[in-house]
Structure 1
Amino acid sequence: MKAVPDSSGFSLASAIFNLLDPIPFGFFVATLIFDVIYANSANVLWLKCASWLVSIGLVFAIVPQLINLYGVWFNKRRIRTRGEAINFWLNVIGIVAALVNAFVHSRDAYATIPDALWLSAVTVIAMGLGRIILAGRNVTYKELNNGQA
């Protein structure tokens, strides 16, 4: 078997999605790291930085998720794969967990742990699983007969 890239053509929406989709995930991973540091050090600076990171990550998550919503559920010109639908719902779970996490981070510093820590973990795990599922959709496998496609 040989890996052949999917030739689905260029679209501006997919280019914007591919450009902006990793940004919120990076902010949410940083939020998780800062929550772990705060849980171990009790230095309020780490928690305040984590609250900013989760808020900025939510702002950057809006556009890619709207593009994903259209591409997965409303675009009639392309076939929706099961992996894309699972990725969409995992991203929704991650964004909802991040939104609740932003509200938890608005509490007093000493009242946030352990809630902020496990909400950050749920966000990163859900979005990470979605990214892993999406990574498999870009490659299709074709059987080669005598070296010819």
Structure 2
Amino acid sequence: MKTETHTSRFSITSAIFDVLDPIPFGFFVGALIFDILYSNTYTVLWVKAAAWLISIGLVFAIIPQLINLGRTWFGKRRIRTRNLAINFWLQVVAIVAALFNAFVHSRDAYATMPAGVWLSVLTVLAMVIGRIVLAADYVVYKEVSHGQA
């Protein structure tokens, strides 16, 4: 008799990924809000705060993306779907846009507009579209049996 062992889907990397993955999105959305506030008020505080949020968001974005790299491209026994690969590349686009945005925000406050706003929009849109595409993989269709056992 052959015994089959099933590996658990839980691992330390999955736990770290699940904890750290939403954090950069919040920082990048906050930076977008501050960039919009700066473009309307020209108060230097907002652009400096956006620069800090972008920098902190980049720090928190690297570790989950490295885990995502391993899970998407190098994972054993993991089926890589097209949507998972699309999400991975959109997250890479978001990180690259945020990196350029950090360089733009390192300049004088008046020199950050309008490039800072557009790069913030690109960063947030790439992350949102990636999440929407990834959500399609998690949809489970269940057939409803009306009175049938």
**TM more than 0.5:** yes
Specify which structure has the bigger relative contact order, considering alpha-carbon pairs within 8 angstroms and separated by 6 or more residues: 1
Which residue matches 1:59?
A: 59
Give a deviation string over 1:4-63, Cα, whole Å, max 9, x none.
xxxx73222222111111000000000000000000000000000000000000000011
Q: What root-mean-square deviation, in Å, do the aligned CA atoms of Structure 1 and Structure 2 show?
A: 1.7
Find the residue that maps to 2:67 and give its secondary structure: helix
Structure 2: segments with no counterpart, 5+ residues: 1-7
Which residue matches 2:89?
A: 89
Structure 1: segments with no counterpart, 5+ residues: 1-7
Find the residue that maps to 2:45 and give its secondary structure: helix
Larger radius of gyration: 2
> Quick check: 1:122 aligned with 2:122?
yes
Separation in structure 2 between the aligned mates of residue 92 and residue 13 of structure 1, nearest angstrom = 19
> Quick check: 1:10 aligned with 2:10?
yes
Which residue matches 2:106?
A: 106
Separation in structure 2 between the aligned mates of residue 34 and residue 73 of structure 1, nearest angstrom = 35
Using structure 1 for the length normalisation, give the TM-score. Answer: 0.89
Separation in structure 2 between the aligned mates of residue 61 and residue 139 of structure 1, nearest angstrom = 25
Separation in structure 2 between the aligned mates of residue 148 and residue 18 of structure 1, nearest angstrom = 38
- Percent sequence identity is 68
Separation in structure 1 between the aligned mates of residue 138 and residue 18 of structure 2, nearest angstrom = 12
Structure 1 residue ranges, 4+ long, deviating more than 4 angstroms after superposition: 144-149
Which residue matches 2:131?
A: 131
Separation in structure 2 between the aligned mates of residue 32 and residue 94 of structure 1, nearest angstrom = 13
Q: Which protein has the bigger strand share?
A: 1
Find the residue that maps to 2:110 and give its secondary structure: helix
**Deviation of 1:139 (Å):** 3.0
**Deviation of 1:145 (Å):** 5.3
Separation in structure 1 between the aligned mates of residue 29 and residue 78 of structure 2, nearest angstrom = 32
